[in-house]
């Protein structure tokens, strides 16, 4: 009954606002009537981008946002060949597919005359507060690399380091992968790459603050209206996030994802994630994203984990999890004073996701809530229930401030795990 009331409140919030923008799955279809297709056709005729093997862009068949982002990214490397009108089309494509381009580490503003590999970066200044805990400040530097290899393949890399005041930290390679179309697959990734499944409940390594950078492996995907991906790889967590002698630091993972647009507003997803021995993960989920209007997005997902660790913590039953989230608008680094706000509710059993591979549709979390021990036994994706409230705004071009308060408690005994953090990201 309580669950139904929460969902009803969130639905009322969506309908009462009236307009939605929110980040979609990168594997969602770009609608067949989207303006981007005409823009790409114009750029194709000018020799700036290339179509599929038959010289078309699939005719009446839609392509994914991820595929369109790759086309836009490659177009930025040939912007010196474009005239004024074509440059404006490229910039418009970059703005439209900014979330996917961020995954590819492409700076939102394409250079006017530059064809060599792109280097961009991001600095994050962050303050974290946790109830009954110490406050901490973190600085993170990311250096992003992008280089087109062919008209259909590109290299993406990321090097980053993060530390608190007065401490040192290692420099890590968190991304190094090939992305594009290859071997007959429309979606092809190989190397150290991000992993995104469903609405993020099982895996969303692009969520800010995620414990892991991704997985070393391969992702293959394609399909018509029903899109699919399959993935095989190995992932791990840092030493400070381990429980010594209890769980391993690396796992062989297998994953699959399905996505089907029911109509222009509603998309259904299903996902599966398992480690080789079903020790931490033997999970599935089903979820949806719903565009209530041009400015409001509602997402939700339900999942279960029947791994050994999950059953141990839940009286030999499956660990269950669900969330509902509504987001209004969204801050855009290209638009000064743009903003967004969101609220979500989560309820997750113990050991559902000890590594915090997943997130609540891209939601951020504190460093303490990423770790397996968490706060009072609460992890961001394990033994937690409560609301999350967030606000973000572009302070000036390429700089976004975000504020988030999590009114979390332990699902098992109700202990507090409330926290707040303020983050300033600026890109260069």
CA distance linking residue 386 with residue 355, whole number of Å: 20
pLDDT of the residue at 236: 77
- What phi and psi, each to the nearest 5 degrees, are found at residue 84? -60, -45
Predicted confidence (pLDDT) per residue in 370-388, tens digit: 776 778 889 899 999 999 9
At 213 the pLDDT is 52
Higher pLDDT, 209 or 424: 424
The three-state secondary structure class of 13 is helix
Per the document, the length of the chain is 428
| Degrees, nearest 5: CA angle 356-362-368 | 40
Average pLDDT for residues 348-355, to the nearest whole number?
93
Helix (H, G, I), strand (E, B) or coil at 69: helix
Mean pLDDT of all residues in the chain?
82
Q: Kindly indicate the confidence band of residue 7, based on its pLDDT and cuts at 50, 70 and 90.
A: very low
Overall average pLDDT of the 361-372 stretch: 78
Best CATH choice for the domain 2-427 from the list 3.30.43.10, 2.40.160.10, 3.40.50.300, 2.70.98.70: 2.40.160.10
Contacts of 150 (CB under 8 A, 6+ apart): 180
Domain ranges in the chain are 2-427
Query: Closest Cα to residue 43, out of 92, 7, 3, 95?
Result: 92
Alpha-carbon gap, residue 146 to 45, rounded angstroms: 25
Question: What is the pTM (predicted TM-score) of this model?
Answer: 0.76
DSSP state at residue 114: -
pLDDT tens figures, 182-203:
999 988 999 998 888 999 999 9
Q: Which of 264, 268, 262 is nearest to 285 (CA)?
A: 268
Q: Which among 428, 364, 318 has a CA at the least distance from the CA of 204? A: 364
Backbone φ and ψ of 91, nearest 5°: -65, -35
SS3 (DSSP) at 357: coil
For the ranges 181-185, 226-230, 366-370, 424-428, the lowest mean pLDDT is seen at 366-370
Backbone conformation region of residue 419, classed left if phi is above 0, alpha if psi is from -120 to 50, else beta: beta
What pLDDT is stored for residue 345 in this prediction?
Answer: 98
């Amino acid at each position: 009954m309580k669950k139904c009331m929460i969902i009803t409140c969130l639905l009322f919030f969506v309908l009462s606002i009236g307009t939605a923008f929110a980040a979609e799955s990168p594997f969602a279809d770009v609608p067949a009537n989207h303006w981007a297709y005409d823009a790409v056709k114009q750029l194709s005729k000018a020799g700036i981008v290339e179509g599929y093997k038959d010289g078309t862009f699939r005719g009446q068949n839609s392509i994914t946002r991820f595929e369109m982002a790759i086309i836009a990214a490659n177009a930025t490397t040939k912007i010196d060949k474009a005239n004024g009108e074509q440059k404006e089309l490229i910039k418009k494509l970059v703005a439209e597919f900014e979330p996917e381009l961020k995954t590819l580490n492409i700076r939102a503003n394409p250079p006017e005359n530059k064809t060599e590999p792109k280097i961009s970066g991001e600095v994050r200044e962050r303050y974290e507060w946790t109830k009954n805990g110490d406050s901490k400040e973190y600085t993170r530097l990311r250096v992003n690399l992008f280089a087109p290899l062919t008209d259909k393949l590109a290299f993406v890399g990321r090097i980053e380091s993060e530390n608190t005041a007065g401490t040192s930290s290692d420099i890590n390679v968190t991304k190094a992968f090939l992305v594009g179309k290859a071997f007959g697959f429309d979606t092809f990734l190989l190397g150290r790459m991000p992993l995104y499944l469903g609405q993020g409940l099982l895996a969303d390594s692009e969520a800010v603050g995620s414990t892991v950078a991704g997985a070393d492996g391969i992702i293959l995907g394609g399909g018509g209206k029903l899109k699919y991906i399959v993935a095989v790889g190995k992932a791990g967590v840092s030493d400070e996030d381990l429980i010594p002698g209890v769980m391993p630091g690396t796992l062989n993972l297998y994953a699959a994802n399905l996505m089907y647009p029911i109509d222009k507003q509603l998309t259904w997803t299903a996902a599966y994630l398992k480690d080789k021995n079903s020790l931490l993960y033997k999970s599935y989920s089903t979820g949806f994203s719903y565009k209530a209007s041009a400015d409001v997005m509602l997402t939700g997902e339900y999942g279960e984990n029947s791994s050994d660790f999950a059953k141990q913590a839940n009286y030999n039953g499956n660990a269950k999890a669900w969330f509902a989230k509504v987001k209004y608008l969204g801050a855009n680094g290209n638009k000064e004073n743009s903003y967004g706000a969101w609220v979500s509710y989560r309820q997750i059993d113990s050991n559902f996701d000890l590594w915090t591979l997943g997130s609540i549709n891209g939601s951020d979390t504190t460093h303490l809530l990423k770790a397996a021990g968490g706060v009072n036994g609460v992890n961001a994706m394990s033994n937690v229930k409560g609301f999350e409230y967030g606000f973000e705004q572009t302070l000036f071009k390429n700089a976004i401030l975000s504020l988030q308060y999590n009114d979390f408690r332990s699902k098992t005994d109700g202990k507090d795990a409330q926290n707040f953090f303020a983050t300033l990201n600026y890109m260069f």
